[in-house]
Copies of this chain bind each other. A is one copy, B any other.
């Protein structure tokens, strides 16, 4: 077996061009996040990355090309970092807590929030980007969670009609508390403790609901 089937982090070759490309993408990330697509300027990106405008155009064609390349690279990194392997035998409380803490923590990082904002804001322009992001990101996390929920349902621990729907709802619930607030309010910066507390509430709600039930 030569190398891992997946991506990233090949470190050996790094030709000059590759280095340039990385620097461009990094600077592009910064500038696009700070200013938004329209307001970002190619010259500014070159200034931060070093290198020359000409090279930038040679590598990415035009502003849109650079933007798409940057977004797809980042979306990949972001969603990859949200994965958690869930053994079918992990008790459901633990499994849900782990997946929720992991993805909420990651999403609350400023860089993630801003990327998310940027993607949401794209709207009519670049409809593909948002779609691709959803397919690679949220949908894949949901799918993994759905499989896990199915296992736990078979183990008799929980009872759900549609695991995919349930998975999606759980993820949304977990994100809702903090991430949605943070999206609208840049001041709002919850710490690890807030995250744990919020996740606990969500897991509990997801499992038990709020209805009063007869004493056991």
Per-residue CB proximity of A126-164 to B under 8 Å, as 1/0?
Answer: 010011011000100000000000000000111111100
Cα of A168 to Cα of B176 in the assembled complex, Å: 8
Per-residue CB proximity of A196-216 to B under 8 Å, as 1/0?
Answer: 000001100111111111101
Minimum CB–CB distance from A188 to chain B (whole Å) comes to: 10
Cα of A22 to Cα of B84 in the assembled complex, Å: 52
In the complex, chain B residues whose CB is within 8 Å of the CB of A213 = 213
Q: Say which residue of B37, B130, B183 sits within 8 Å of A184 (CB atoms).
A: B130
Tell me if A180 is interfacial: C-beta within 8 Å of chain B: yes
Minimum CB–CB distance from A194 to chain B (whole Å) comes to: 12
| A contact set with B: CB distance below 8 Å | 34-39, 92, 114, 117-125, 127, 130-131, 133-134, 138, 156-162, 165-166, 168-169, 172-173, 175-177, 180-181, 183-186, 201-202, 205-214, 216
* A and B contact pairs by CB, cutoff 8 A, 18 listed: A39-B125, A117-B121, A118-B121, A120-B184, A123-B186, A130-B184, A130-B186, A131-B184, A134-B184, A138-B184, A158-B211, A159-B211, A169-B176, A169-B201, A172-B172, A172-B176, A175-B176, A206-B210
